[in-house]
Amino acid sequence: MKKTITKLAILIGLTTNLKAIAQTISFDTFTLSTNSYYKDTTGADFSSNGATFRYHWNTSWGGYWESGSAYTNVLDTANGSYTNLYGCIPGVAFGGNNYATVQSGAVIAMSNTTTAVSGFYITNTTYAWKEIKSGGFGRKFGDTTGTGSGTSIPQGQYPDWFKILVRGYRGGSMLTDSVEFYLADYRPAGTANDYVVKNWQYVNCISLGQVDSLTFEMKSSDNNAFGMKTPAFFSMDNFTIQSTVGIEELSNVSTISLFPNPTKENLFLNFESVSQSELNILIFDITGKTLQNKSIQSSIGENQVKINTENYEAGIYFIEMNDGFASKRIKFIKL
């Protein structure tokens, strides 16, 4: 028997269960002397609140930090050379005293496979910010002193950019969704909207859903035959995760589908239920804000929920179906 449930406005997606427990890693749990940073010549990773930050020390050429993340309280905003890998350009942590500086390719592993990363605060390192603004090994963004020779782009009009891609993994497989954040962007026409991030800004990762690890890839418009010339570092603080231990995949419903997706006006959530049960429908936007929390009564067999999206702005939305013990999450796009 098909049961149509009307008068329910739903925005849809992949987010955390009501029973999730949020934990914020501020890096202040680690002890550091003033103006110092994590350094372990054995290459030991460090962990906090269920997250392990990979770290590798290369013993060649006298030794150097080769990859991963390092917690730090270096606040040097003047030295823009490679001798200042750890300082952040705001000159202060987002909260407390410590933060982390992260290299491109870094990995953060979760001890619990049912963990969702809410997000983190990000800014440029002093090294990257100075290179972008003034040039050095890399090109000064905007190429205001360049020639543009050999290109089709006029002098002073290079559409430069510097960004990170945050990717989630689960069970060894990379998830389809990723999160993109620009640390510098000179692509818009003219110069009025050019920017290089100099304060702490929030990166929302809730759309990645449950992950067992994250990776960070940095990309830039300034490259040569050997790779990226912009320093491949960024600073991070208040890394927040939500643990959903004990919440299993919803098993009493199956064949869940959304149509049409993407949608402009109405969307239909279809599913089959093996029993009559009360289901909670939670609706979230891309920031993780709960827009609606409503209970419905499903019937045995096919069920359909009509969703009116007419009054919502274009973007990504999320829905969670749960019975208080287990959950199922889906995403849809409003055009």
Task: Give just the sign of the alpha carbon dihedral 272, 290, 200, 94.
Answer: negative
CATH number at residue 8: 2.60.40.2550
Strands 51-53 and 107-110: antiparallel
| Whether residue 27 is found in the same domain as residue 117 | yes
pLDDT for position 148: 42
Residue type, 198: K
pLDDT digits (tens, 9 = 90+) for 95-117: 899 999 999 999 999 988 778 89
| Whether residue 50 is found in the same domain as residue 162 | yes
> What average pLDDT does range 145-171 have in this prediction?
71
Q: Which residue has the higher pLDDT, 92 or 313?
A: 92
* Burial category of 302 from C-beta neighbours within 10 Å (exposed 0-12, middle 13-18, buried 19 and up): middle
Q: Which residue has the higher pLDDT, 280 or 197?
A: 197
Q: Mean pLDDT, the chain, as a whole number?
A: 84
> What average pLDDT does range 281-307 have in this prediction?
78
Instruction: Say yes or no to pLDDT of 129 above 90.
Output: yes
**Considering 243, 258, 276, which residue would you say is the last residue of a domain?**
243
Q: Which residue has the higher pLDDT, 5 or 316?
A: 316
Task: Tell me how long the chain is.
Answer: 335
pLDDT for position 8: 35
Cα 240 from chain centroid (whole Å) = 10
pLDDT for position 157: 59
| Whether residue 230 is found in the same domain as residue 260 | no
- The band of 245, judged by pLDDT with boundaries at 50, 70 and 90, is very low
pLDDT for position 176: 86
Q: State how far the alpha carbon of 22 is from the alpha carbons of 169, 204, 245, in Å.
A: 20, 14, 12
pLDDT for position 115: 85
Distance (Å, rounded) from C-alpha 324 to C-alpha 215? 32
Residue type, 171: G
User: Is 74 within 8 Å of 32 (Cβ atoms)?
Assistant: no
CATH number at residue 175: 2.60.120.1350
User: Is 314 within 8 Å of 334 (Cβ atoms)?
Assistant: yes
pLDDT digits (tens, 9 = 90+) for 72-81: 999 999 999 9
Q: Which residues pair with 52 in a beta bridge?
A: 47, 109
Residue that is written with structure tokens 């009009």 in the block: 157
> What average pLDDT does range 304-329 have in this prediction?
78
Q: How many domains does the chain have?
A: 2
* Burial category of 314 from C-beta neighbours within 10 Å (exposed 0-12, middle 13-18, buried 19 and up): exposed
**10-14, 113-117, 120-124: lowest mean pLDDT where?**
10-14
- The band of 30, judged by pLDDT with boundaries at 50, 70 and 90, is very high
Distance (Å, rounded) from C-alpha 258 to C-alpha 268? 6
> What average pLDDT does range 62-84 have in this prediction?
97
Q: Which residue has the higher pLDDT, 149 or 32?
A: 32
pLDDT for position 285: 76
| Whether residue 321 is found in the same domain as residue 175 | no
Instruction: Say yes or no to pLDDT of 70 above 80.
Output: yes
3 state DSSP class of 254: strand
| Whether residue 296 is found in the same domain as residue 160 | no
| Torsion on CA atoms 260, 261, 266, 268, rounded to nearest 10 | 70
Residue type, 18: L
pLDDT for position 58: 97
| Whether residue 78 is found in the same domain as residue 144 | yes
pTM comes to 0.70
| Whether residue 194 is found in the same domain as residue 66 | yes
Strands 277-285 and 227-228: unpaired
What range defines the domain where residue 264 resides?
Answer: 3-19+247-334
